[in-house]
Amino acid sequence: MTSCAQVQSKDVSMRELDEGILQTNMGRIGQKILVLSGKGGVGKSTVAANLAVALSKAGKRVGLLDVDLHGPSIPKILGLEGMRLCPDAMGHIEPIMVSETLSVISVGLLLDKQTDAVVWRGPMKQNVIRQFLKDGVWGDLDVLVVDSPPGTGDEPLAVAEMVGENASAVIVTTPQDVAIADVRRSVSFCRMLELPIAGIIENMSGLACPHCGEIVDLFKTGGGGKLAREMGVPFLGCIPLDPDIVSAGDSGTTFTQSSTNSLGAQAFASVIAPILNPISPAELESNSKEPQSMKIAIPTAQGELCMHFGHCEQFTMIEVDPTTKSVLSTEMLTPPPHEPGVLPRWLSEQGANLIIAGGMGQRAQGLFVKNGINVIVGAPGKSPEVLALSYLNNTLESGANACDH
């Protein structure tokens, strides 16, 4: 009879074997590029597919892995609908060859029909990601582009952990504030995992007018670039909303394949140029570090911290260098009229990373955090520079929240 201990030790050795196979498979791939986004619908798959096609056209051996479990759109974008992956008896999965140098595995190619819904339970998601990486017959590749699940949850975490070394992230966003707040989380996610960030792409940035060829500012633009500067991450550039991109995606050819000369295609080419050229390890390492400077916003009245956050008429914005613990610049800013939700958005646009306040309601604190701004409450009524320096030197006294309503 098999004892419990024997079963457990068999489980452990199977896991070790699996891990070994995964590492060997990933070790045959020169570079992994994880395409991430804070949320769905921002064009992550479009970027991943076009990046993979552009890399393969540039002569690299490329794999494209689509593990966007809840919205696998790579088969549609590459015109692979109707094709199916067939794992062999050992569970090995041969990718579908789109060209001699581009192989694709997508979770969408396991479904009978594109419209089939899959209910993924927790561990199944990790298992399918592991299986694609471990049992995919990728062979020797220069680059594996991964269309990752959106957000910063367990699934993108599993991808980042399983791909192993020589990985970097490209973060795709749209310009609106709601998307930008999500990108802050994606950047923090990469920093937490020490995953170097190759850069941020702002997609759907203005509309490429099919009549005059000009870029029309539909909502606003520039949020991605501003955020990249604030967070010390490279900005790769903007891609406009372009009807050619929609029709290319819908017809199953990437706009990179169809060599369209639309504004969107031109923008895409310039955005990915730095990715096509290898990124130096030193550059990557510096991208994974904390930014050189941060901005602290302090509500101010008569030269001192103002206890009434919601009624203060001015903010002192102090840019500091946390490494040298010094003040780089100080500026007085007048906020727009106070209405619910205005200050978090406005301070985020001003690039604030931290607020030092006397008091603030819980709800307001939550709104700032949602906008990527940390809050310290209970600070004393001293001059803003003194407070900023105390914060940098870890000597900031913060007592009770002075006004919690």
- Interface positions with ligand ADP (CB under 6 A): 37, 40-46, 71, 73, 203-204, 239, 241-242, 245-246, 249, 264
Closer to ligand ADP at the Cβ: 98 or 388?
98
Closer to ligand ADP at the Cβ: 36 or 343?
36
Crossing angle for the helix pair 263-276 and 44-57, to the nearest 10 degrees: 70
- Torsion, CA 306, CA 360, CA 177, CA 190, rounded to 10: 110
Shortest Cβ 37–ligand ADP spacing (Å): 5
Closer to ligand ADP at the Cβ: 74 or 347?
74
Closer to ligand ADP at the Cβ: 239 or 306?
239
Closer to ligand ADP at the Cβ: 56 or 173?
173
Phi, psi for residue 127 in degrees, rounded to 5: -65, -40
Shortest Cβ 273–ligand ADP spacing (Å): 17
Shortest Cβ 35–ligand ADP spacing (Å): 8
Phi, psi for residue 52 in degrees, rounded to 5: -60, -45
For residue 354, give the nearest of 299, 404, 313 by alpha carbon.
Answer: 299
Shortest Cβ 372–ligand ADP spacing (Å): 20
Q: Is 278 in a helix, a strand, or coil?
A: coil
Closer to ligand ADP at the Cβ: 45 or 287?
45
80: left (phi over 0), alpha (psi -120 to 50) or beta: alpha
For residue 227, give the nearest of 319, 41, 318, 351 by alpha carbon.
Answer: 351
Shortest Cβ 203–ligand ADP spacing (Å): 5
Report the chain's C-alpha Rg in angstroms. 24
CA distance 41 to 390: 43
The residues near 143 (Cβ < 8 Å, ≥ 6 apart) are 29, 30, 31, 32, 33, 52, 55, 60, 61, 62, 63
From residue 107, how far is each of 77, 128, 147, 334, 344 by CA, in Å?
14, 8, 11, 51, 39
Closer to ligand ADP at the Cβ: 36 or 298?
36
Closer to ligand ADP at the Cβ: 233 or 241?
241
Shortest Cβ 46–ligand ADP spacing (Å): 3
Please say whether the beta carbons of 151 and 36 come within 8 A: no
Shortest Cβ 349–ligand ADP spacing (Å): 23
Phi, psi for residue 64 in degrees, rounded to 5: -125, 115
Closer to ligand ADP at the Cβ: 252 or 378?
252
DSSP string, 90-152: T--BPPEEEETTEEEEEGGGGSSSTT------HHHHHHHHHHHHHHB---SEEEEEEEPPSSS
Shortest Cβ 42–ligand ADP spacing (Å): 4
Which one-letter DSSP state was computed for residue 337?
Answer: P
Beta bridge partners of 241: 207
Q: Is 61 in a helix, a strand, or coil?
A: coil
For residue 193, give the nearest of 177, 169, 216, 176 by alpha carbon.
Answer: 169
Closer to ligand ADP at the Cβ: 109 or 317?
109
Shortest Cβ 221–ligand ADP spacing (Å): 12
Shortest Cβ 206–ligand ADP spacing (Å): 10
Shortest Cβ 148–ligand ADP spacing (Å): 10
